[in-house]
Amino acid sequence: MGAIYLVRHAQASFGHGDYDRLSALGERQSVRLGEALTTREVKPDVVVAGAMQRHARTASIALETAGLPSEVAVDEGFNEFDHDQVIVAYKPAYKRRAVLLADLARTGHPTRAFQEMFGEATERWTRSDGDGYSESFADFAGRSEDAVRRTAARLGKGETAVVFTSGGPIAAVVSRLLSGGDDLWLKLNPVTINTGITKLVSGRSGLTLISFNDHAHLDGTDLLSYR
Give tens-digit pLDDT for 101-131: 898 899 899 888 989 999 999 999 999 998 9
Q: Which fold has domain 2-80+139-218?
A: Rossmann fold (3.40.50)
Give tens-digit pLDDT for 66-111: 999 989 999 999 999 999 999 999 999 998 888 988 988 998 998 8
Give tens-digit pLDDT for 5-34: 999 999 998 666 667 899 999 999 999 999
**Nearest CA among 151, 206, 141 for reference residue 180:** 141
Cα 147 to Cα 153, 172, 201, 208: the distances in Å are 10, 11, 15, 15
* Bridge partners, residue 161, by sequence: 4, 46
Residue 162 has pLDDT above 90, yes or no: yes
| Range(s) within the chain of domains with CATH label 3.40.50.1240 | 2-80+139-218
**How far apart are the C-alpha atoms of 163 and 199, rounded to whole Å?**
10
